[in-house]
Amino acid sequence: MASDVGTDVAERTHVQLSNAVVRFAGDSGDGMQLAGDQFTNQTAIAGNDLATLPDFPAEIRAPAGTLAGVSSFQLHFSDQDIHTPGDAPDVLVAMNPAALQKHLGALKSGGTLIINTDAFSGRNLTKAGYDEDPREDGSLTDYQLHEVDLTTLTLRALEGHIERGELNKKEAERCKNMLALGLVSWMFSRPIEETESWLESKFAKKPEVADANVAALRAGWNFGETTEAFVFTYEVKAAKLPPGRYRNITGNQALSYGLVAASVRSKLPLFCGSYPITPASDILHELAQLKRFNVNTFQAEDEIAAIGSVIGAAFGGSLAVTASSGPGIALKAEAMGLAMITELPCLIVNVQRGGPSTGLPTKTEQSDLFQVMFGRNGEAPIPIVAASSPADCFHAAIEAARIALTYRTPVVLLSDGYLANSAEPWRLPEVDDLPDLSADFGFTTEPNTPDGDFLPYLRDPETLARPWALPGTAGLEHRIGGIEKEDGSGHISYDPANHHRMAELRYERMDKIAAGLPPLEVDDPSGEADVLVVGWGSTEGPIRAACHDLRARGRNVARVHVRHLMPLPQDLPDLLRSYETVILPENNMGQLVTLLRSATLVDIKPYNRVTGQPFSATELIDVIETLGWGESA
Amino acid sequence: MTTNDSKLTKKDFTSDREVRWCPGCGDYAILATVQTLLPELGARPESTAFISGIGCSSRFPYYMDTYGFHTIHGRAPAVATGLAITRPDLDVWVVTGDGDGLSIGGNHLIHALRRNVNLKILLFNNEIYGLTKGQYSPTSPLGSVKKSTPMGSIDRPMNPVSLALGAEATFVARSIDTDRKHLSSVLEAAYNHRGAAFVEIYQNCNVFNDGAFMAIKDKDQKDHNQIRLTAGEPITFGPDGENAVVARGDGSMKIVPTEEAGDRVVIHDPNKPEPTTAFALARLSHNPTGPTPIGIFRDVDRAAYDEVSRDQVEQARVDQGEGSLEQLLGSGNVWDVVS
Ligand code: SF4
């Protein structure tokens, strides 16, 4: 929260900041995600660039007051272009001792700490693992501490509501997140009207609840304004983003919109067959709201049925998608092989979470790359596209659909828990500028041999795609299935040479996809870098931010982000070979690095961490300096 | 190529593939019946899709000159569901077996039935795993001595009709591979049913489980053991109709001499909204080693899942108007940045 200029406003100091990181932390029942979302909206409307990091427990309601039950939401906003949700917060709001215990370590030295002092009772302290009250043992002296009785203030603000019987004391207490939000909004000079109207529409059916929340929000704002405890207010000016119309979007939302866009641009109905799983369920929820786009959603009885239905819908001529996460993808493996061998275009979304097994359902990780690359029996190559930011999920979904339709193949679209739930401002694309997917394929309606036969595996020489002939087309009746088939005719074949040829063809089709990819874009402003950082997926933000910072400090570092992981871009091996040092940070124990070393024989230096959290820019600055130049700043 | 004017025959539904079941397998008879029946029912090859799983029976689609999909073990109802939801213009048939449909794919079967997806599901029950060469299956009688159960199987067999009724399927029937007339009549009713139609077909595997259905197929025994269910008729059986089915006080069924039954003989009514009586009939036999009901147990009307699902899409388009991508992308809070 590097301060810029201080201007006196009455007895307060108004500070201009270039950027700030605010973290709300509390019990999972305290409404921290909601407060964070609303602060994000205000921030977006203020025109800042921003990135968010929600972090919540897998349990729906972990025991109140415990460390396990802490839920948090971090927002990084700036007057510059930013790429990460920020490292150490400048402001921490801790609604109880457990939240303080869990998040204090992250707070910047000298940072602003707001604690709900009402929650610091003996029992809550014990549950959070405090032997002594941190307010009294001197452990908070490094920070600008504000002890605020948020619960009491909330109850006081809602006295009238309680007296009128509109809500009881417990319900009133629940509005304390809005009081905290009001206070932080005031600190950052944010108008709260948008949040008020949002509350009114959210609780349209319960106007008394809307009223109470608005009252608490205003009370928080007024508390900041009237109490003398807060001597600073802050302002982060609008960022200079490229001109256009913007909105905030999370990865899951962007991915869902990307699927709808792919459906509109391919003129195919969209079918989504999914089974609920964290953190992918939102895609099913989102699409279920969009039926007006000729979207049909099917909540299947299990993960296998979900992909089964997708294969059936693809056979029938829909743009079909199933969205899941690692454990669900494991169950789909056999069916993915069927989709591959029957060469039906469909999309399999893996919103990766911490693994193995049930793992860390609400945390992020990039450890399913090997799973989607290799997790099938036999030689079963399936293209893989990875999204790199929340908004990029939109474009990655369209790209995955393009490959599926053009080359007639299932395609895996990788996202992760971080992208899924994080938000960033997104400059809306012009619909007419989106790829016209309907030009990439056509349904076969006529026999494809001179003697009037139809051969379902007679390929297009350009793309090696087989014909997509839909049931209902007279004269093209044919049978497909999971047994090895004869090249061309598609009849069952156990012929050894044919089997080998079919395996070759399946890989040759990957080569065709690679040949159709645009050249890699290398980010190297100096043009003189010897060190190249390779990334994939959600690490783009922190890698970009780290490289930006290193360049500012005189380090020439180049960066390339790989969106297509199967097949790999054809220009990637030579690119890697042209740098002295190649570094690859990923949130797994070394998956892409293993593949790239094998594909290029370049001794790439890995950096790996799986803590369920995305990389921070600070962390990567250190890593890149150490691996790139043998020293750290 | 077929056109709507031409009169179709069995030939139009017969593919050029050589049929590869063991000689004498009950599957041949079922295939011939289906190939003969479909043109009679007015079905079109191009509008027909057969979806199967894995097992001997699941080779069925290869021999039909229709659209066909030989999927993976147990998953045919799931694949068929996706096709049926998105393609109302097709007749979608599922061919499965006792291992495919009741063991590895049991979950998909019960959910397709309870949802009432518009599928015709034919379960070829041969009480054995044929393709993997002779292990006991979920319908093999207790004590079956097979390759994997040298001391006899110890798990109770499943009764497919009971299971389907338990899943509240709207059409549940049973027939026999070689009884062309009976099988045709049951399949015709299944074809005309909107929603999920489940037909268990006793199918002889002459290689690994020959004679499993002798009690109801053998010409000397069948008249004694086939309890033919006919809508509106009293349920009696035996060469001279000397046995009758009556209800016990608790609703379960028992067999008594017709002369003792009097007016207590159950009159078969497959259209009863409650599946209780159909279920009680299904419990008369577990494996067809004695008197066993065949025919249509249940045939009731209920909205089909796929239709309602498409209706919702239509409803959304009517209520909210056809979706506009521009509007969708620009929904929520937007702001403009000017240069
Ligand atoms: S093994 Fe049995 S069921 Fe399979 S084809 Fe041979 S006879 Fe028919």
Residue B317 is predicted with a pLDDT of 97
Q: Which candidate, A269, A372, A298, A300, places its Cα nearest to that of A329?
A: A372
Higher pLDDT pick, A11 / A379: A379
Share of chain B above pLDDT 90, in %: 95
- pLDDT of A136 reads 92
**Cβ-based neighbours of A510, under 8 Å, separated by 6 or more:** A381, A383, A566, A567
Q: How far is CA B10 from CA A198, B3, B43, B65, B91, in A?
A: 65, 15, 11, 10, 17
CATH (one of 3.40.50.970, 3.40.50.1220, 3.40.50.410, 3.40.50.2300) for B10-220: 3.40.50.970
Confidence bin at A11 (pLDDT 50/70/90): low
Note the pLDDT of residue B2.
Answer: 45
Query: Could you give the CA distance from residue B261 to residue B248 in angstroms, rounded to a whole number?
Result: 11
Model confidence at A4: pLDDT above 80 = no
Distance, in Å, from the CA atom of A511 to the CA atom of B255, rounded to the nearest integer, reads 69
Kindly list the strands in the beta sheet with A423-427, ordered across the sheet, starting from the edge strand earlier in the chain. A423-427, A244-250, B334-337
Report d(CA A476, CA A466) in Å as an integer.
13
Query: Is the fold of A247-440 the same as that of A522-629?
Result: yes
The whole-number average pLDDT for the span A317-329 is: 98
CB-based contact A95:A33 (threshold 8 Å): no
Least confident segment among A93-102, A234-243, B85-94:
A234-243
- pLDDT of residue A3 exceeding 60, the answer is no
Instruction: Identify which of A294, A300, A474 has the shortest CB distance to residue B78.
Output: A300
Distance CA B193, CA B189 (A): 6
pLDDT at A238: 87
A257: its two tokens? 């919109």
pLDDT recorded at residue A8: 42
Q: Do A45 and B328 touch (CB under 8 A)?
A: no
Residue with the smallest CA separation from ligand 1 atom 6 is: B22
- 3-class SS at B319? helix
Please give the average per-residue pLDDT across A437-451, as a whole number: 96
pTM of the model: 0.92
Q: What is the DSSP letter of A433?
A: G
Query: Domain segments of chain A: what residues?
Result: 13-236, 247-440, 522-629
**Average pLDDT, stretch A113-118?**
96
Q: Are A445 and A469 in contact (CB under 8 A)?
A: yes
Distance in Å, alpha carbon of B203 to nearest chain A alpha carbon: 24
Tell me what the pLDDT averaged over chain B comes to.
96
Mean pLDDT calculated for residue range A301-309 = 98
Please identify, in words, the CATH class of the domain defined by A13-236.
alpha beta
Q: ipTM beyond 0.90?
A: yes
Peptide bond into A356 cis (omega under 30): yes
Distance from CA of A417 to the nearest CA of B (A): 22
Q: Which atom of ligand 1 is nearest to the CA of B56?
A: 4
How many whole angstroms separate alpha carbon B312 and alpha carbon A568?
A: 41
A247-440 homologous superfamily: Thiamin diphosphate (ThDP)-binding fold, Pyr/PP domains (3.40.50.970)
Provide, rounded to the nearest whole percent, the portion of chain A with pLDDT above 90: 88
- Give the pLDDT of residue A56: 87
d(CA A113, CA A89): 10
Structure tokens at A154: 């909330």
Tens-place pLDDT, residues B95-114: 999 999 999 999 999 999 99
**Mean pLDDT, all residues of chain A:** 94
* Separation of first and last alpha carbons in chain B: 62
Report the DSSP pairing between strands B91-97 and B48-52. Answer: parallel
Is a pLDDT exceeding 70 seen at residue B322?
yes
pLDDT of residue A1: 52
CB-CB neighbors (< 8 A) of B320 in chain A: 292
Determine which helix (DSSP H) or strand (DSSP E) holds A270, and give its type and residue range: strand A270-274
pLDDT band, very low/low/confident/very high, at B5 (cuts 50, 70, 90):
low
Overall average pLDDT of the B34-62 stretch: 98
Q: In the prediction, which pLDDT does A63 show?
A: 87
Report which of B276, B286, B184, B182 is spatially closest to residue B229, judged by C-alpha positions: B182
Residue B4 confidence (pLDDT): 52
Report pLDDT for A450. Answer: 95
Q: Please write the tens of the pLDDT for every residue from A154-171.
A: 999 999 999 999 999 999
Ranking A218-227, A302-311, A378-387 by mean pLDDT, the lowest is: A218-227
CB B69 within 8 A of CB A315: yes
DSSP codes, A303-338: HHHHHHHHHHHHHTT-EEEEEE-HHHHHHHHHHHHH
Per-residue pLDDT for A43 more than 70?
yes
Question: Which CATH class name applies to A522-629?
Answer: alpha beta
Task: State mean pLDDT over B271-281.
Answer: 97
Name the nearest CA neighbour of A467 among A358, A343, A579, A582. A343
> Taking CB atoms and an 8 Å cut-off, how many pairs form between chains A and B?
220
B99 with B138: CB under 8 angstroms? Answer: yes
The average pLDDT across A332-352 equals 98
Residue B88: CB atoms within 10 A of its CB come to: 12
Cβ of B108 and A342 within 8 Å? no
Q: Are strands A384-386 and A270-274 parallel, antiparallel or unpaired?
A: unpaired
Flag whether pLDDT at A48 surpasses 60: yes
Distance CA A289, CA A286 (A): 5
Torsion sign, CA atoms A150, A86, A619, A540: positive
Residue A25 in this model has a pLDDT that exceeds 50:
yes
Please give the sequence-ordered ranges of beta strands (E in DSSP) within A488-562, or none if there are none.
522-523, 531-536, 557-562
Q: Provide the strand spans (E) within B111-163.
A: 120-125
What's the token pair of residue A182?
A: 């009001």
| CB contact (8 A) between residue B330 and residue A247 | yes
Domain extents in chain B: 10-220
Q: What's the mean pLDDT in A41-51?
A: 89
Pocket test residue of B52, B57, B123, B126 for ligand 1, highest count of atoms within 8 A of CB: B126
State yes or no: pLDDT of B1 exceeds 50. Answer: no
Tell how far the Cα of B131 is from the centroid of ligand 1, in angstroms.
7
User: Is residue A632 scored above 70 in pLDDT?
Assistant: no
Instruction: Count Cβ atoms below 10 Å from residue A492 Cβ, excluding itself.
Output: 16
Test A294 with B335 for CB contact under 8 angstroms.
no
* pLDDT tier for residue A7 given thresholds of 50, 70 and 90: very low
Strands of B292-299's sheet in order across: A479-481, B67-70, B48-52, B91-97, B120-125, B197-202, B171-176, B292-299, B226-229
Say if residue A574 is exposed, middle or buried (CB neighbours under 10 Å; 0-12, 13-18, 19+).
exposed
